[in-house]
Structure 1
């Protein structure tokens, strides 16, 4: 497993919080983590500047979304710089023994699957080759059991969460090319935006690790001075996701008028995390 301090830096980079270690009670759970990462872009689309976790998790309080507007993706997480000028970001604590599940760590950094095929929930699982997975402790945490985390037919498929995957046409349309190279791009964009389930009002993820990497968070570690990329590896409820025009982009639609508590309940029923992925640049 990567150094615990490096994992804390990765969590800080993903959440925009100052994540610290504790041996006592902890505030941040793996589901809180995916909620923050998944909902950050959603609330940004809604024009909000902060994510209020009360009353369902009052220990987290209000989390700022302002860091999304920063363009420097290569600086050390501001909350970790310390000193009188440190960013006033929310500080949350995790107990590593309760947050991580080292039994299921897996180092994919030197693995190449080639033509090998893997399935989760009868759907192709593109393994995160080139990445190091730090497993999150999520077994026995949900009322409907652990079938979602398995390998059988009733398991949920795997999806990857980038730092800034949103509902912009450049992400959800069928081609990766420059809009200027596609004469019908604006027409296709307009069509996408009038479709209520793919117009940006939801949470986006992808089963393609290479696509998620394009939207990952990058940070410089204070532990070893190296640059790292970080992503979340999740399972997604096949009954709650919609497929966009791009086959490798999935959205969990959040109906208009849904309040904050209902929104987080939808995410918990739809997207559950099980791995923190790290990749050295």
Structure 2
């Protein structure tokens, strides 16, 4: 079961900063409302994860089939993604390429489970989730998302026992390119082995790009994270998603710390989103000072 952790107020849990982080991840203007949210945490992981998948597929835009989100453009502008139905040009050139999505902070976040990892160093300590190693995001601050009692199969996926799902991290632009799949920290293996791995990567249908990628390695995810400058305090921040991944839906790539959820060829948009929901579920927004 989850354990309550009532933490002292932190700048990184400032609602305005969290909204900026969500805006950076989604590519739209995320604002607060006292009404119902137009975006759920699961929508968040769908947007972040599927944006790269659809770009792999060669699409320039997709219909998100939601009145609040409309059509998602996959075109980059200064490394920022844009949504259709832009607001008025008077809001500025950058804002004109984005739509506004409103969320209810109480519905979206779950402050009871916020956790400050910024001062922690685990060293040789080992943590498990779903009987697999959990590399905690030391150096980061986690703002918890409200995901309990949201799925038909209960909350076991979010626990710490053997039936829990392992932890993965979602970085910006984590696609199926060989550079991500095969890159190693430090010097790569000798060239023949590297080229052999490239060929295997390209011919293996479950690791050649047709899917959604994440990693259990927080340091690797950080290399592909989104960075933004906050208007709250003028500081630069990195932002990632902390997820749980269904071990039955995940495939390990040639590099073991890269996981892919395979999406079969010919799968339509509705089926694709269903696969993601059954495979990857977010539970934390991670923030870190640059």
TM-score (norm 2): 0.89
SS at match of 2:221: helix
Superposed displacement of residue 174, structure 1: 6.0
Is the partner of 2:165 in helix, strand or coil? coil
2: CA distance between counterparts of 1:136 and 1:77?
Answer: 27
- Residue of 269, 276, 280 corresponding to 2:285: 276
Of stretches 73-82 and 210-219 in structure 1, the one that deviates more from structure 2 is: 73-82
Q: More displaced, 40-49 or 186-195? A: 186-195
**Quick check: 90-99 or 178-187, which moved more?**
178-187
Shift of 1:187: 3.9
**Which residue of structure 1 lines up, in the alignment, with residue 79 of structure 2?**
70
> What is the Cα-based RMSD across aligned positions, in Å?
3.4
Is the CA contact 1:73–1:218 (under 8 Å) kept in the aligned structure 2? no
- C-alpha spacing 1:76/1:173, structure 2 compared with 1 (3 Å): farther
2: CA distance between counterparts of 1:42 and 1:105? Answer: 30
- With over 3 angstroms needed to count, the CA separation of the structure-2 counterparts of 1:85 and 1:60, relative to structure 1, is closer
2:43 corresponds to? 32
Match of 1:9 in 2: 20
Contact residue 52 and residue 63 of structure 1 kept, 8 A: yes
Aligned partner of residue 278 in structure 1, secondary structure: strand
Distance 1:69 1:179 in 2: 31
What do the CA deviations read for 1:8-42 (whole angstroms, capped 9, x no partner)? 11001101111111010111000000000010110
Per the TM alignment, residue 175 of structure 1 is displaced from its structure 2 partner at its CA by: 3.0
Change (3 A) 1:65 1:72: closer
Tell me: CA distance 1:34–1:85, structure 2 relative to 1, closer, same or farther (3 Å): closer
Q: CA deviation at 1:113?
A: 0.7
CA 221–269 in structure 1, closer or farther in 2 if over 3 Å, else same: same
Q: 1:172 to 1:68 in 2, by over 3 A?
A: farther
1:259 Cα deviation from its structure 2 partner: 0.2
1:185 Cα deviation (Å)?
A: 3.4
Is the aligned partner of 1:19 residue 2:30?
yes
The answer to whether the Cα contact below 8 Å between 2:130 and 2:164 also exists between their aligned partners in 1 is yes
Contact 1:76/1:219 (8 A) holds in 2: no
**Residues 204-259 of structure 1 deviation map (CA, whole Å, 9 limit, x = unaligned):** 00001001001100111111110000000000000000000111110000000000
Distance 2:179 2:84 in 1: 26
Q: Unaligned regions of 5+ residues in structure 1, if any?
A: none
Deviation of residue 79 (structure 1)? 11
Cα distance change of structure 1 residues 94 and 273 upon mapping to structure 2, 3 Å threshold: same
Q: How many residues align?
A: 279
What whole-Å deviation, never above 9, does each CA across 1:122-169 have from its counterpart, x for those lacking one? 000000000000000000000010000001110000000001101000
8 Å Cα contact 2:85/2:99 also seen in 1: no
C-alpha contact (below 8 Å) 2:176/2:213 kept by paired residues? yes
Contact 1:233–1:273 under 8 Å retained in 2: yes
Query: Structure 1, residues 35-78: CA drift from partner, whole Å, max 9, x if none?
Result: 0001011000011122321169xx22112222377289999999
CA gap of 1:110–1:247, structure 2 versus 1, over 3 A, is same
- 1:102 is aligned to 111
